[in-house]
Amino acid sequence: MEEKCCTKCLSLKIENVANQSLDILEFLQLQASGIPVLDVRTPAEFASGHIPGALNLPLFDDEERKIIGTIYKQVSREKAILQGLELVGPRMADLAKQGISHAVEKKVLVHCWRGGMRSSSLAWLLNLMGIETLTLRRGYKNFRKYVLQTFTHPYQFTILGGKTGSAKTRFLAELQKRGEQMIDLEGLAFHRGSAFGAIGQSQRQTQEQFENELAVKLRAFDPDKTIWIEDESRHVGSKIIPMEIWENMRHSRVLFLDFAQDVRIEYLKEEYGQIQNMEFLKKAFFDIKKRLGDVSYNDAIKALDSNDLTSACKIALDYYDKAYEYGLSKRDQYTIQKIKLDNLNIEFAVNQILMEKSCQI
Q: What is the mean pLDDT of residues 27-54?
A: 96
Mean pLDDT of the chain: 86
The helix/strand/coil state of 153 is coil
- pLDDT tens string 305-350: 888 989 999 999 999 999 888 888 888 888 899 999 888 888 888 9
Architecture of domain 155-357: 3-Layer(aba) Sandwich (3.40)
Indicate if the pLDDT at residue 275 is higher than 70: no
% residues pLDDT > 70 (the chain): 89
Contact indicator for 317, 261 with CB cutoff of 8 Å: yes
The full DSSP string for 278-315 is THHHHHHHHHTHHHH-HHHHHHHHHHHHTT-HHHHHHH
Give pLDDT, residue 72. Answer: 81
Give pLDDT, residue 328. Answer: 86
Residue type for position 78: E
Q: What is the mean pLDDT of residues 28-55?
A: 96
- pLDDT tens string 156-177: 999 999 999 999 989 999 999 9
Give pLDDT, residue 203. Answer: 54
| Domain ranges across the chain | 2-147, 155-357
Q: State whether CATH 3.90.220.20 applies to domain 2-147.
A: no
Indicate if the pLDDT at residue 16 is higher than 60: no
Give pLDDT, residue 269. Answer: 85
On the question of a common fold for 2-147 and 155-357, the answer reads no
Residues 6+ apart with CB under 8 A from 318: 296
Confidence of residue 263 (pLDDT cuts 50, 70, 90): very high
- Return the bridge partners of 319, or none: none
Indicate if the pLDDT at residue 211 is higher than 80: yes
Q: How far is residue 161's CA from residue 339's CA, in Å, rounded to a whole number?
A: 10
Residues 6+ apart with CB under 8 A from 143: 24, 51, 111, 136, 212
Note if 5 is an active site residue.
no
Q: In 198-230, which positions are buried (b, 16+ CB within 10 angstroms) versus exposed (e)? A: bbeeeeebeeebbbbbbbbbbeebeeeebbbbb
Q: How far is residue 120's CA from residue 11's CA, in Å, rounded to a whole number?
A: 10
- Phi, psi angles (nearest 5°) of residue 339: -120, 105
> Catalytic: which of 5, 6, 9, 112?
112
Give pLDDT, residue 209. Answer: 96
